[in-house]
Amino acid sequence: MSRKRKLRTYLSTVLLTTFLAVIVFPLTPIYGETTPGAPVPGLTIEEAVQLAFKNDPDTRKAELNVEQTQIARDKLAESITFIPTGGMVLPAYQELFNNFQQAEISLGVAKKVQATQKDLVTKNVIAAYTKAIKDKNTLDLARLSLANMQKQMAIRETSRDLGMISSYDWQTIERGMKQAEEGVKAAEATYLSSCLALNALTGQSKDKTFELVSRPVGEQIHKNSLDQEYSRATNDAVLVWRAEQMLAIEQSKQTWVLPNVSSDLSRVLLDQAQVDHEKAKRDARLTIEGLYYGMDALERQIQVVKESNNLAQDKLRMAEVKYRVGTLPLVSITPGQEDLMSARVEAEKTKADLENLRADLAKLKADFYYVTGRTVYESADWSTGSGTSIDLGTVNNKPQTGNRISFTIGAPTYKNGNDVITLDTPAYIKNGRTYLPVRALGESLGAQVSWDEEARTVTLKRGDDRVELVIGNYNIKINGSYTTMEVVPEIVAGRTMLPARYVTEAFDALITWNENDQEVVIFK
């Protein structure tokens, strides 16, 4: 093949890849993915729990039930206070006293239910939040797989034109593409459903969007022996405790003189209460055993997947090095051959698998602690923030003496040293990555910015350093070498927005994230 034809083939491949990325990825905004440029509020697990407390009708109902039983108990107590001498031997007064005893027990039950209702709400929020995290991971992987197939299709179409791929193999590729597209749509629907469920729990409107910024980090759950946990549940679990109180009521009735209630009926009612109590204890034990061994299994799986994730990340780093030096293709023409995109997909998959297992463990822990009477939520099980928060004054114990540039999410200005500069489009977060306007980012880094409308390519140049990015394309070209990004550049309100970290690091600048102030800080 002539050099000129090779160049045409390469250009057609790049353009087709870019075209496919642009037409497929502008998807309908869903949870945490509002219109770019508009800041998306973060929602931590703690904030979700607090919102759910305010919205939960059962919590208010439990409070009212305590008030109601307290009033009933107090009225009966007043009646008993005025029982005349000798009145206790009369059936009417005996029945009144019996009712008072039942009211006393009912009040205790109502207070216990009220105390555990918030734990139940917390447990339900953790379940909904972890499901949304897992469904988002599934969606991200589906989109990544689709992007991989788009690149494969673009390259293999050229191979088909050259007669290197049969019509049957090409049809197989087309079917795979359609399946990947349907997979993304299905993942979007599932994720949207889980977000709507979380919004319903927290009392938010169905079109309200948040960035889920908390992430499960727990890998080990503190628990005692199974017998000790069962004993704890017998004493503290609300279901066992309620059955126990009902048994206490029936036992107390055995000494009562009740009109129209025979001793045989009273005995049957007592036997039923005893059966219910035993059943509650048995059900609690089965539930505890299932959760106990389920947590053990998850803890072991986490360690296995953790090792697999470390290996996959190492392979990805090695693949990126090979790609930069030109010994590894971005996408292989031959199926099954090693390439950068395959390494990236595998690394993201194992990373998502690890987080999903941690999410499953967080949910099981909430269930386990609820039935054993513990505090359901513990902040140590969760990290908060879309990036790493570090001391902005020092890195690796070395003071940062370079110029400090800061962008605040959603703010109309940014700071370059002591100067405050107006922005056309504010910074925002999308898919867990911070986007900054190219003009402001480039100028703050001392780079010249140029735009090629025909190729939809933005170029930043500073001295001998040159960075090129194509709108909608995952590739970033740094000094002639390509690497792949997790997100793509995009145009918002006529302004080009770039993923901040990739561009900043390409110019050897330090970029950090300040979670408290929602601020991106760059030292150059």
Of 384, 410, 433, which one is at a domain's C-terminal end?
A: 384
Residues 333 and 464 in one domain: no
CA distance 207 to 251: 53
**pLDDT (tens digit, 9 = 90+) per residue, 297-337?**
999 999 999 999 999 988 988 888 887 777 888 777 666 67
**pLDDT (tens digit, 9 = 90+) per residue, 147-165?**
888 877 777 776 677 777 7
Residues 374 and 487 in one domain: no
Residues 34 and 179 in one domain: yes
Quote the distance between the C-alpha of residue 248 and its chain's center. 44
Q: What is the CATH number of the domain that holds 435?
A: 3.30.457.10
Residues 83 and 208 in one domain: yes
Asked if residue 500 is part of any domain, the answer here is: yes
Please give the pLDDT value at position 81: 60
Please give the pLDDT value at position 124: 93
Residues 295 and 209 in one domain: yes
**pLDDT (tens digit, 9 = 90+) per residue, 428-482?**
988 778 899 999 999 899 999 999 988 899 999 998 889 999 998 888 888 887 7
Asked if residue 89 is part of any domain, the answer here is: yes
Of 358, 384, 410, which one is at a domain's C-terminal end?
A: 384
Q: Which domain holds residue 438?
A: 394-523
How does strand 475-478 pair with strand 457-462?
unpaired
CA distance 353 to 137: 9
Residues 425 and 443 in one domain: yes
Asked if residue 52 is part of any domain, the answer here is: yes
Residues 100 and 239 in one domain: yes
Asked if residue 240 is part of any domain, the answer here is: yes
Asked if residue 462 is part of any domain, the answer here is: yes
pLDDT of residue 497 exceeding 70, the answer is yes
Asked if residue 282 is part of any domain, the answer here is: yes
For residue 353, name the pLDDT band (cuts at 50, 70, 90): very high
Q: Residue 178 is which amino acid?
A: K
CA distance 75 to 261: 25
Of 337, 361, 384, which one is at a domain's C-terminal end?
A: 384
DSSP 380: G
Residues 224 and 286 in one domain: yes
Asked if residue 389 is part of any domain, the answer here is: no
Asked if residue 109 is part of any domain, the answer here is: yes
pLDDT of residue 9 exceeding 60, the answer is no
The domain tally of the chain equals 2
**pLDDT (tens digit, 9 = 90+) per residue, 367-422?**
988 888 788 888 878 876 433 332 233 333 333 445 789 999 999 999 988 889 99
Residues 476 and 403 in one domain: yes
CA distance 376 to 365: 8
Torsion of CA 9, 15, 20, 25, to 10 degrees: 150
Beta-carbon count within 10 A of 185 CB: 12
Contact predicate 414/405, CB 8 Å: yes
Q: What is the CATH number of the domain that holds 372?
A: 1.20.1600.10
Bigger pLDDT: 516 or 423? 423
Please give the pLDDT value at position 365: 93
Residues 380 and 449 in one domain: no
Residue 151, C-beta contacts closer than 8 angstroms, at least 6 positions apart: 17, 330, 331, 341
pLDDT of residue 228 exceeding 90, the answer is no
Please give the pLDDT value at position 458: 93
Residues 223 and 272 in one domain: yes
For residue 235, name the pLDDT band (cuts at 50, 70, 90): low
pLDDT of residue 8 exceeding 60, the answer is no
Write down the pTM of the prediction: 0.61
Please give the pLDDT value at position 391: 29
pLDDT > 70 in the chain, percent: 77
Mean pLDDT of 213-222: 87
Residues 416 and 351 in one domain: no
Mean pLDDT of 186-193: 92
Please give the pLDDT value at position 352: 92
